[in-house]
Amino acid sequence: MAEHITCQEVVELVTDYIDRALPADEAALFEQHINFCDGCIFYVEQMRATVATVGRIEEEDVPPETKDKLMAAFREWKRS
Amino acid sequence: MAQTKIQTVPTAADEAALLARLRAGDERAFEALVERHYGTMLAVARGYVKSRAVAEEVVQEAWLGVLKGLDRFEGRSSLRTWIIRIVANIAQTRGAREARSVPLSALAPEGDEAAVDPDRFRGQQDAFPGHWRQYPSDWEVLPEESLLGRETLDLVMRVVSELPPAQRQVITLRDISGFSADEVCAALDVSAGNQRVLLHRARSRVRAALEGHLDG
């Protein structure tokens, strides 16, 4: 691999970097790059903020009728 | 910040205890399980079938499948991974019948998709090819409510709901439901490489939309 990576490469590696899924040599190049590049530091922070914002989406609740049906199915299952 | 949901991956001990309660017919345990996973199951089902109503039917059918298989579940995956696998299988079958569905191969990422518009980087003729023409902005200096406000959350919800189905399923499981990468691979039957590409594309699209909203 090259001895340095560009900003354009950083934006494609950032998900694996955040997930700690980069191989050690690529992680080292990634970190070397962001040590010197404010633009990419901002980009990584934007991605972290994006993940955090997506994480604030609430999952849908079970509609009460559905829950009643499923609980009835569970009682049925218990009896059988 | 990005790690906030990681610890929701259940431990083996939690799982064994939960499974024992379910098998013993503990209604509270089943109710909690339904409450915990219903929304995730619905989101996954909606990746394969046309309408919300059909997705709801699929989820109900999946729960019956869960009950049927509960005594035979061997714990080779986490319980929630197994549950999502069941709903995905049923939804896939239903979707194929509806004939709109995402064919199985659609869980593989299609074509190339740059995370950021290539025009934002310096060209090959430039002294610094591949470097930013203009830096992305620093979101840390934004007023807190711009990222945390209702308007931003609504935008992100809309963007996620409009993602291609496979990307939407992966980002939902990873970033909303807190599944690990391994759990997603097992639940949706995708390779580790495809899981990563789908997550990357999904997050990159959401970031780009947020950038348009926050910097606009």
Answer whether residue B48 shows pLDDT above 70: yes
Q: Is the CB of B138 less than 8 angstroms away from the CB of A45?
A: yes
DSSP track, B145-209 = HHHHSHHHHHHHHHHHHTS-HHHHHHHIIIIIS---HHHHHHHHT--HHHHHHHHHHHHHHHHHH
User: Coil, helix or strand for B72?
Assistant: coil
A12: nearest CA partner in chain B: B115
DSSP 8-state code for residue A17 = H
CATH assignment at residue A57: 1.10.10
Position B129: which residue type?
A: P
Q: Which residues in chain A are closer than 8 Å to B60, comparing Cβ atoms? A: 66, 69-70
Q: Which two tokens stand for residue B63?
A: 């729960």
Closest Cα in chain B to A41 = B138
Query: Is A2 a domain residue?
Result: no
What distance in Å separates residue A27's CA from the closest CA in chain B? Answer: 16
Q: What per-residue confidence (pLDDT) applies to A80? A: 83
Q: Tell which residue, B62, B6, B66, has the closest CA to residue B30.
A: B66
CA-nearest of B200, B196, B177, B172 to B185 is: B196
| Nearest by CB: A15 against B118, B129, B200 | B200
pLDDT of residue A1: 52
Q: How far apart are CA A29 and CA B131, in angstroms?
A: 15
**What would the pLDDT profile of A49-65 be if each residue is shown by its tens digit?**
999 999 999 999 999 99
Q: How many domains does chain A have?
A: 1
Residue B132 has phi, psi (to 5 degrees) of: -55, 135
Domains of chain B (ranges; CATH) run 6-101 (1.10.1740.10), 105-215 (1.10.10.10)
Residue B44 tokens, joined: 């996954």
The per-residue pLDDT for range B17-45, each reduced to its tens digit, is 999 999 999 999 999 999 999 999 999 99
CB contact under 8 A, B176 and A54: yes
pLDDT digits (tens, 9 = 90+) for B149-181: 999 999 999 999 999 999 999 999 999 999 999
Say if the Cβ atoms of B207 and A50 lie within 8 Å.
yes
Q: What is the ipTM of this complex?
A: 0.93
Q: Which domain holds residue A69?
A: 7-79
Is residue A1, in this structure, part of any structural domain at all?
no
How sure is the predictor about B3, in pLDDT bands with cuts at 50, 70 and 90? very low
pLDDT at B51 over 50: yes
Under the phi-then-psi rule, with left for phi > 0, alpha for psi from -120 to 50, and beta for the rest, what region is B140? alpha
CB-closest option in A18, A57, A74 to B30: A74
